Amino acid sequence: MARRKSNVDGPVYYTTYQVAKFLGVSLPTVVNWVNSGLLSAHRTPGGHRRIARNDIIAFARQQNYPLSRELLGEEDGAQRILIVDDEEDFAEMVRDYLSLKGGFEVEVADSGFSAGYTVARFKPHLILMDLMMPDMDGFEVHRTLRDDEDTKHIPVLACTAYRDPVVDARVSEERFDGFIEKPVKLTHLLGLIQDKLGVTAG
């Protein structure tokens, strides 16, 4: 499978007109979102609005707008999924399934610590996060991602075999983008990922 090429190497900003084209709405709609505070924007010295790529992606996912390849910085290739899990057999099984059946480019990080380095290098579009890891649990990794401007927009699906009311409450409070229980039904996981990324099933 060809590795995705990206034309996004750092912070990228777009005009309100470009945002309207990306999301398939009118220019006045985008201006209204900015004026009402729903969509963050910066002002140039000349007074023009500029909107950060990460803010557009976060807003689009929150409002369930489909994301174009151009906005995601893709020239070709599959969207990228990162699996963060210390169970090698499970991670390899999910990686192979998502690659073969979903057409995704998938990498695995086997610990919470290595997840940070992999996210920075691989720049995933979605993360499947094991909650119970020995070094740095999935909750802590998730908070780190949410506190970073470069990663706060990435959808994170919680995954664990140890599901109970306490875990459910924490997942809800910390605003994960979804929750799937082990043993995972792979077809359900694929459908959930496709839904979160706005990908049409093939």
State residue 164's pLDDT score: 83
Residues 188, 156 share a domain: yes
Q: What pLDDT is recorded for position 12?
A: 74
In the chain (202 residues long), the average pLDDT of successive 10-residue segments reads 39 81 88 92 82 86 76 64 94 92 90 89 93 88 91 93 86 90 94 85 58
**pLDDT of res. 72:** 67
CA-CA distance, 91 to 95, in Å (whole number)? 6
How many domains in the chain?
2
In a domain, 4, yes or no: no
Residue 181: the pLDDT is 92
Q: Note the pLDDT of residue 150.
A: 85
CATH of the domain at 15: 1.10.1660.10
The pLDDT score that the predictor gives to residue 70 is: 65
Predicted confidence at residue 8, as pLDDT, reads: 42
**What integer pLDDT is reported at residue 55 of this predicted model?**
87
Among 29, 51, 70, where does a domain finish?
70
Evaluate whether residue 2 is within a structural domain.
Answer: no
Half-sphere exposure of 139 (CA within 13 A, CB side): 12
Helices (H), 24-174: 27-35, 53-62, 69-72, 88-102, 112-122, 138-146, 165-173
Range of the domain at 178: 77-197
pLDDT at 75: 45
Global pTM?
0.65
Report CA-CA distances (Å) from 91 to 36, 78, 84, 123, 136: 43, 19, 8, 18, 17
CB atoms within 10 A of CB 184: 18
Q: 63 and 89 share a domain?
A: no
Task: For residues 128 and 112, state if they share a domain.
Answer: yes
54 lies in the same domain as 86: no
